[in-house]
A and B are shown apart, each in its own frame.
Chain A
Amino acid sequence: MKKKLQINAFNIFVTVFIVLYSLSILLLMFWALLTSLKSVDEFRLNVLGLPHPFTFENYDIVFRNFRVPINNPADGLMYEIPFEQQLFNSVYYVSVSSLLAAITPMLVAYLTCRFPGKLSTVIYNFVVVTMALPIVGAQSSEMQILRGLHLYDKFIGLFIMKASFLGMWYLVYYAVFKGIPKDYYEAAEIDGASHFTLMTRIAFPLASATFFLVALLNFISIWNDYQVPYLYMPTKVTLSYGIYYMSISGTEGLAYPPIHMAGTTLVVAPILALFVIFRKKILFTVNIGGVKG
């Protein structure tokens, strides 16, 4: 229920602050959208005003010319990765990675919760310790290992790297499985259910809401990340890296603010759509993520 707050210095200060904050975010995004709808020539003279006329030509330019050149180490030749290929790479890499990054902690959390013992305790404590233990500059080592295993610059290399159970989601799943009454498992066991059936027919369906949200949040963060694919999978260009490349390179025909803004709008649009559709669930999950002692 929305409340009418009493008027005092604190409420006035915070209201002004948060309104300004929200305006600053909206203003920036609105300005970027308007800029993407101006022609390059118009933007030179009209940086702040409304587009006159509104044009979608920048989006068309992005679709036609949004290419990222790569040097393929396999044959030493230069190739250009077009927009469609970047889109395919993004969807493939992000979908598989986000699923693996959601399934692995769920599987390990279930096993360590369902089969208590020394190994399960060690795994639980290991996850907690790694969350607080800062490791600096391990990229060189990761790179060397990926190259040594012939996984460098391959989708499969990053899929394996993302399939880790370390991190906060393991603890979230653990709490979910801990809350499932043992009677459920016992009743199924009496009916002759195997370990696999117990896991896939009872435990996982009960954790499906959490799984869905973890996969969604992973999808958003992996979609937005350009640095990991750029470092470990440089020839499999994703859309996020494409946008980054466009922003730093002076590629002829693309190096103009309205065109950059059209490119950013295209990358942001699917994620914003997902956020708008699932915002209640996402914000609720993040809200309950507040750690309580």
Chain B
Amino acid sequence: MNDLAFQLLLALDASIRLAAPLMLCAMAGIFSERSGIVDISLEGKLLASAFVAAAVTAATGSVWVGLGAAMLSSMMLSVVHGFATITHRGDQVVSGLAINMLATGFTIVVGHAVFARGGQTPALTDNQRFGPITLPFADQLNAVPVLGPIYKELLSGHSLLVYMALIAVPMTAFVLYRSRFGLRLRAVGEVPEAVDTAGISVFWLRYRALMFGGLLCGIAGAYLSTASGAGFVREMSAGKGYIALAAVIFGNWQPFRALGACFMFGFLEAMTARLEGVDFPVVGVLPTQLMQALPYLLTVLLLAGFIGRPTPPAAIGQPYVK
């Protein structure tokens, strides 16, 4: 196994870890947006649940209780979003923005008041985190050429939440395309009147879609603070919710294509970290800050129709008036 290939393997491994929270948030975004609700509050839900996961884990000592609390808190924010946009037909972008600001303020204020560490939560010990899981036979199979190292380095050794993220994608696809709920969910994002005429509650469908999304964002938040990190730091989500939103658009509101976008953005981030300060023969040192903006730039180009043409759900952004 030559060194370059091994380096690439490690970069891909890092991409999976960086893409995991994006995947969960992107699936949350797909649930919400396919039902017709714009969700820029992915960022706020991610941040709030990261805080709750770390805080509850620190208080109870159980990372599972932390995960549950994170999912619950993120779901509650989804319900707030739904209450404003579905029940009261408020502007979906304004509501999302409000939730993002609430999350920023709330996590810092409460974190400061409870833990008195300037907005951080206490550092979690190893058994208060979701540690790496070694898949069966990873070490034994390492000797197998090519496939062995791929299995050991790339697939094995991630935390449980990464595997949950990887499962969330086919699960989302299955629910969307193979279940009755999914059929209705897609319909309500395209022609809500038809769903209403069929005697199905548009409101309740959209609420459920948002709540599903909340659960997934909660797992992503828990991943940030109890698996990838060991505690909460203020502004921890750092725009990941928005990148996930970009991935949703990039994936044309389809789970597997969004997964591809998440991998691409994760890989870009992994490479950015690796290439920092590396002097290349022709181009010199790459401006890493500009590389970090690449996901956003690509999304703008895509939206403008320069790379394919996205087709958002037809009824997105419009409140339903019965």
Q: Do the two chains belong together in a single complex?
A: no
User: Which residues from chain A sit less than 8 Å from chain B, CB to CB?
Assistant: none
